[in-house]
Amino acid sequence: MFYRLSTDGSRRDVALEGTFAGPVPSACWLIGGGPSLARLPVELVRSSPVPKMCVNLAGTRLVRPTFWTSYDPSARFHRSVYLDAGVMKFVHRRRAMDLIPETTHKVCDAPNLYFFDRDQDRGYADFLAPDAAGIVDWSDSLVQAIDILYRLGFRRVYLAGCELRVRPSAEQIARAASAGVRYDPAGLLQEFVDRCANDGLAAAELDELPPGRQYHFDEHKPLRAAANTDRHYFHIAQRLRLARRSLVLAGMQLVSVTPHGRLNDYFPYVPLRRVAEQVLRDVGDPSREAVRGLYGGNEPRPPRRPVGPMTDFPPRRGKHCGGAVDSPRRDELLVEVEGFESVAPWTNHRSTPR
C-alpha cells in the first residue's frame, strides 16, 4: 500500500502495514487544528510515550508530529515538516512532483516520506476494509489519517483539537442578537449566516467584527468560507457515525479528548488528563522509570502483579507456515473428531466411539 517514488518515476514498495501493532492495542494521538488544542494541557501530549499524528498545519508550535499527512496542495504546509527526517510523512502520489515549499526539492525527495493511492469507492461498511488497495478518499485529511493509522497497526486513536465545527466570535453573536438572530451552538454555522442574511445582516458586515478563533494557530477565513468548512466538518462527523460498525469490526477505537467536539455525540469522550494518565500506566512513565542498578543486574524483572506460570511452546508447523504438520508431542492430548479421543496421545490410534 505504501511506496517511495523518485524524480524519474521509479517506484519502490515499502511494507509498513502492521509495523506499529503490538501485544496490546497500539495507541496514537491524532492532532487536529481546532482552537481547543491551545487550551488543552498539550504538554501531556508532547511528553506522552505514544506517537502523535498531525494533519495539515495541526500542532504548529505546540506538538511536533511523529507522523504527518495532508490532503491539500503541498504549498500550504511547512518546509520543516517535509525536510525533517524524524517525521514519517504520508501523501498522495499526485504530490510527488510538487516542490517542497521554499526549496527546489521535489516532494518525492523528502526523507521518510511515503506515497499511497486513494480509494474513492469506499463506503461506510468497508471504511476500514483490511484488503483495501488504497487509502480512503472522502476529501478529508482527518479521515485519511484514521485509515493510515489503521494500516500501520494502531487500534486506539485519541483525537485532540478535533472540534469538527467552526463557531462565530462573541462579537458576531452579540451583533446578530441585536438584529434578532439567536446563535444555536448545536447547529451549523451556515444556518446562522443564512438567518442573519434573511434579517438584513450581511456576512460582510459580520466580517468587520473580530473573527472567532477557527484554529489553534494564526489563520482564519471569512465567515462564508468558514461556514463551508463547518458544513464539511458536519458531513465528516456524520460519515464517521455511519461507519461505526466498520470501525468496531476492524477493532479500531476512536476516543475524543476534545471538549465540545461534534464527534462527542457519537464516540466516547474522555478528558485528556485521564487519557494521558492511562497511557502512562499502560506504557510506562519515562520521567519516573528508575535507572540506578539496571546495568549491574541480569535477573529477570517480573510483572508488578503476581501471575501464574508461563511456558513457551514451540509453534506447530502447518501449511500456512510452509511446512508439514508436526506429529503430536507425547505431552499433548489429541482429539481427532468430536466424540473421539486418543487412548495414547503420542500415537495415531483412535479409541472407539463413546
Q: Looking at residue 341, what is its pLDDT? A: 52
Q: Looking at residue 170, what is its pLDDT? A: 96
User: Confidence class of residue 352 from pLDDT cuts 50, 70 and 90?
Assistant: very low
Q: Inter-axis angle of helices 223-242 and 141-152, to 10 degrees?
A: 40
Q: Looking at residue 346, what is its pLDDT? A: 47
Residues in the chain: 354
Enter the C-alpha cell of residue 36.
481547543
Nearest to 91 by CA among 3, 217, 161, 215: 3
Mean pLDDT within 309-328: 70
Q: Where do the DSSP E strands lie in the chain?
A: 2-5, 11-14, 26-31, 52-55, 67-69, 88-92, 113-116, 118-119, 135-136, 154-160, 253-256
Q: Is the pTM of this model over 0.95?
A: no
Contact yes or no for 261/159 (Cβ under 8 A): yes
Looking up cell 463547518 gives: 230
Q: Looking at residue 303, what is its pLDDT? A: 87
Q: Looking at residue 299, what is its pLDDT? A: 86
Give CA–CA dist 254/258, Å, rounded.
12
Contact yes or no for 261/186 (Cβ under 8 A): no
Q: Looking at residue 313, what is its pLDDT? A: 87
Q: Looking at residue 208, what is its pLDDT? A: 96
Q: Looking at residue 298, what is its pLDDT? A: 85
Q: Looking at residue 354, what is its pLDDT? A: 44
Mean pLDDT within 120-127: 94
H or E stretch covering 171: helix 170-178
What percent of the chain clears pLDDT 70, i.e. is strictly above it? 89
Candidate from 2-16, 139-153, 328-342 with smallest mean pLDDT: 328-342
Q: Looking at residue 327, what is its pLDDT? A: 60
Contact yes or no for 46/273 (Cβ under 8 A): no
Backbone torsions φ then ψ of 157, nearest 5 degrees: -125, 125
Give CA–CA dist 232/340, Å, rounded.
61
Looking up cell 485521564 gives: 274
Q: What is the pLDDT of residues 251-284, one digit of tens each?
A: 999 999 999 999 999 999 999 999 999 999 999 9
Look at strands 11-14 and 2-5 and give their pairing: antiparallel
- Phi/psi-derived region of residue 167, left when phi > 0, alpha when psi is between -120 and 50, beta in every other case: beta
Q: What is the dihedral of CA 217, 222, 228, 231, to 10 degrees?
A: 60
| Sequence-separated (6 or more) residues with CB below 8 Å from residue 245 | 124, 125
Is the pLDDT assigned to residue 81 strictly greater than 90?
yes
Q: What is the pLDDT of residues 19-73, one digit of tens each?
A: 999 999 999 999 999 999 999 999 999 999 999 999 999 999 999 999 999 999 9
User: Confidence class of residue 106 from pLDDT cuts 50, 70 and 90?
Assistant: very high
Give CA–CA dist 206/212, Å, rounded.
11
Q: What's 309's DSSP letter?
A: -
Q: Looking at residue 323, what is its pLDDT? A: 56
Give CA–CA dist 80/101, Å, rounded.
9
Give CA–CA dist 63/46, Å, rounded.
6
Backbone torsions φ then ψ of 36, nearest 5 degrees: -65, -25
